[in-house]
Amino acid sequence: MKIQPKQAAHFISSELISVSAILIYGPNEGLIREYSKNARKTINDDFNDPFASSNISGEQLKEYPGLLFDEVRSIGLSQSRKLIRVFDISDNVIQAFDYLLEDHHNLKDALVVCEASDLGPRSKLRKLFEQIQTVAAIPCYEDSHQEISVYANRIFREHSIELDKDSMNWLLESLGNDRAHIYSEINKIIAFMGNDKNITIQDIRSLIGDSTEIGLDKVCYAIGDGNLKRLDRALYKLFSDGVSPIQILRAVSRHFLRLQSIIAHKKNKGGISAAVNTLRPPVFFKDKKSFLSQANTWTPNKIEDVIFLLAEAEKGCKSGIVPAKPLCSRALLNAASTGQRLQKV
């Protein structure tokens, strides 16, 4: 059966008794891991108990399709329902599930929790789980900003911490929408701050900004300032740290959208300087001078050109036709060259 995203959390917490296997798939790796963990915990709090659970990789199933059937049929040494986690799978293991689900009505003593990456509508594995009523396919799409905000706030509240709105916005803008990454970084902040519950935006930036956010800012400001050498160094560092081209392109797009919103206030009372102070999340105080300079240098037409360029580059990265890193680098270099020309005017 097919489970709608809005029903997924409830289904995992309350309705797993009705199915013998679930397929958790999609582009949101953090959410996949969270749902998988919650599903196994629903069946058995100690889901790592080797007498009640087992793990099978996609590579193992590919080599021996009957392994999953054998594992399900083996006698568990626990009174709890047996758990089998199958991870890193794709359509190349469809034979193992065809074999298993031929007799799906007799699998009530076990739950098979499957984790896969993004599976398209034509995926044989996905179709199999959607069409059989005693198993379920659960998609994990990218979270909205609101969903991520609720998730992050919940983690902080569990430690009796309330973040102000500006700090939370800055944090979410910095971390993106991968739940696993957000969970890791927030716990790093909480551990470092210890008993200090008064966490400021400066604390957050100093703790997590040195890895990704400061690097993204360096790319954004290098492009806006037209500094090609600084861009090259910052981009190399981000790629070396494993930051995805799409994440970089989106960060630069947000930077130019913020510039665009500020330029529109040039003729207002207080001008650009007053408008910058209204931005949320706020411009980091050390970057404010550079941001004001860019707002006075870039024109609305040039900003629109760059935003379109970045959107096309992101579309190309998602297509998979062209390697993402060279495509991202070329787009950012073209944007920075425009900044360089504007600085000379």
Q: Is residue 209 part of a domain?
A: no
Return the amino acid letter for 146: Q
Q: Are residues 220 and 336 in the same domain?
A: yes
CA distance 251 to 291: 15
Q: Are residues 128 and 9 in the same domain?
A: yes
Report how many domains make up the chain. 3
Q: Is residue 206 part of a domain?
A: no
CB atoms within 10 A of CB 244: 16
134-150 pLDDT, tens digit each = 899 999 987 777 788 88
User: For residue 10, what pLDDT is reported?
Assistant: 93
| Residues in the chain, overall count | 345
Q: Which residues pair with 57 in a beta bridge?
A: 87
Crossing angle of helices 165-175 and 201-208, in 10° steps, is 20
Q: Is residue 189 part of a domain?
A: yes
Q: Is residue 105 part of a domain?
A: yes
Minimum mean pLDDT range among 15-29, 192-206, 268-282: 268-282
Tokens 């070396």 correspond to 240
Q: Are residues 231 and 302 in the same domain?
A: yes
Strand 53-57 relative to strand 82-89: parallel, antiparallel, unpaired? Answer: parallel
User: For residue 75, what pLDDT is reported?
Assistant: 61
Q: Is residue 63 part of a domain?
A: yes
Average pLDDT over residues 301-310: 91
Average pLDDT over residues 18-28: 92
CA distance 59 to 129: 20
User: For residue 268, what pLDDT is reported?
Assistant: 62
Strand order in the sheet with 82-89: 53-57, 82-89, 110-116, 21-25, 135-139
Whether 51 shows a pLDDT value over 80: the answer reads no
Q: Are residues 50 and 22 in the same domain?
A: yes
Q: Are residues 107 and 151 in the same domain?
A: no
User: For residue 292, what pLDDT is reported?
Assistant: 84
Average pLDDT over residues 230-249: 87
Q: How confident is residue 151, by pLDDT bands cut at 50, 70 and 90?
A: confident
User: For residue 129, what pLDDT is reported?
Assistant: 95
Q: Are residues 226 and 338 in the same domain?
A: yes
Q: Are residues 85 and 119 in the same domain?
A: yes
Q: Is residue 339 part of a domain?
A: yes
Mean pLDDT of the chain, nearest integer: 84
Q: Are residues 329 and 227 in the same domain?
A: yes
Q: Is residue 204 part of a domain?
A: no
The domain that contains 69 carries what CATH number?
Answer: 3.40.50.300
Whether 45 shows a pLDDT value over 90: the answer reads no
Q: Alpha-carbon dihedral of residues 297, 300, 302, 306, nearest 10 degrees?
A: 110
Minimum mean pLDDT range among 47-61, 129-143, 262-276: 262-276
290-302 pLDDT, tens digit each = 888 888 888 888 9
Of the candidates 309, 345, 330, the one whose C-alpha atom is nearest the C-alpha of residue 231 is: 330
Crossing angle of helices 288-297 and 245-263, in 10° steps, is 70
Pick 324 or 180 by higher pLDDT: 324
129: containing domain: 5-139
Q: How confident is residue 27, by pLDDT bands cut at 50, 70 and 90?
A: confident
Q: Is residue 241 part of a domain?
A: yes
CA pseudo-torsion sign 265, 271, 277, 281: positive
Whether 269 shows a pLDDT value over 70: the answer reads no
